[in-house]
Amino acid sequence: MKKIIALALLCFTIVMNNYGQVNLKDKIKKKTNQRANRRTDQAIDKGLDKTEEGIVNIFKKDNKENENTGKEYHNNESNENPKTDQKDGQSETATGEPELLWSKYDFVPGDKIIFEDNLIGEENGEFPSRWDLVRGTIENAVFGGENVIMFRDGQPMITPYMKNTDVDYLPDIFTIEFDLYLPNNYFRIFFYDRKNQNSPSGHNYLNIHSKEMELRPAKSSIPDGRAINNRWAHIAIAYTNGKMKAYIDETRLINIPHLGFDPTGVSLEVYHASDKYKFYIRNFRLAEGGVKYYDRVLQDGKIVSNGIRFDVGKSTIKPESMGIINEIYKLLNDHPDLSFSVEGHTDSDGNDDFNQELSEERAESVMNRLVLMGISKDRLVSKGFGESVPIASNNTPEGKASNRRVEFVKM
Residue 73 pLDDT exceeds 50 = no
Q: What's the whole-model pTM score?
A: 0.70
DSSP 8-class letter at 72? -
Tell me: cis bond preceding 171? Omega within 30 of 0 counts.
Answer: no
Dihedral pair phi/psi, residue 147, rounded to 5°:
-70, 135
Question: Of 30-44, 278-292, 373-387, which range is least confident?
Answer: 30-44
For 124-151, what is each residue's pLDDT tens digit?
999 999 999 999 999 999 999 999 999 9
Cβ neighbours of residue 313 closer than 8 Å, sequence gap 6 or more: 78, 79, 80, 81, 82, 83, 350, 358
Domain boundaries in the chain?
A: 112-289
Mean pLDDT computed over 50-54: 42
From residue 167, alpha-carbon distances to 177, 180, 195, 218, 307 in Å are 22, 27, 12, 27, 27
Q: pLDDT band for position 101 (50/70/90)?
A: low
Identify which has the larger pLDDT, 10 or 82. Answer: 10
Q: For residues 287-294, give the mean pLDDT.
A: 82
Neighbours of 340 (CB within 10 A): 24
| pLDDT averaged over every residue in the chain | 80
Per-residue pLDDT for 169 more than 80?
Answer: yes
Given this model, what pLDDT does residue 200 score?
Answer: 79
Of the listed ranges 26-40, 185-199, 236-250, 302-316, the one predicted with least confidence: 26-40
Burial class (CB in 10 A: 0-12, 13-18, 19+), 236: buried
Cα 272 to Cα 279: distance, rounded to the nearest angstrom:
9
Question: By mean pLDDT, which of 52-56, 168-172, 371-375 is the weakest?
Answer: 52-56
User: 112-289: which CATH architecture?
Assistant: Sandwich (2.60)
H/E stretch holding 68: helix 2-70
- Per-residue pLDDT at 158 exceeds 60: yes
Q: How confident is the model at residue 307 (pLDDT cuts 50, 70, 90)?
A: confident
> What residues pair up with 317 in beta bridges, in sequence order?
310
pLDDT of residue 191: 96
User: How many Cβ atoms sit within 10 Å of the Cβ of residue 132?
Assistant: 17
Phi, psi angle pair for 326, to nearest 5°: -60, -40
Percent of the chain surpassing pLDDT 90: 58
pLDDT at 77 over 60: no
Q: Is pLDDT of 390 > 50?
A: yes
Alpha helices in 246-351 (DSSP H): 293-300, 322-334
Q: Quick check: helix, strand or coil at residue 216?
A: coil
CA atoms of 293 and 303, how far apart (whole Å): 7
CA atoms of 221 and 372, how far apart (whole Å): 32
What are the beta bridge partners of residue 405? 345
Give the pLDDT band of residue 1 (cuts 50, 70, 90): low
Residue 336 DSSP symbol: T
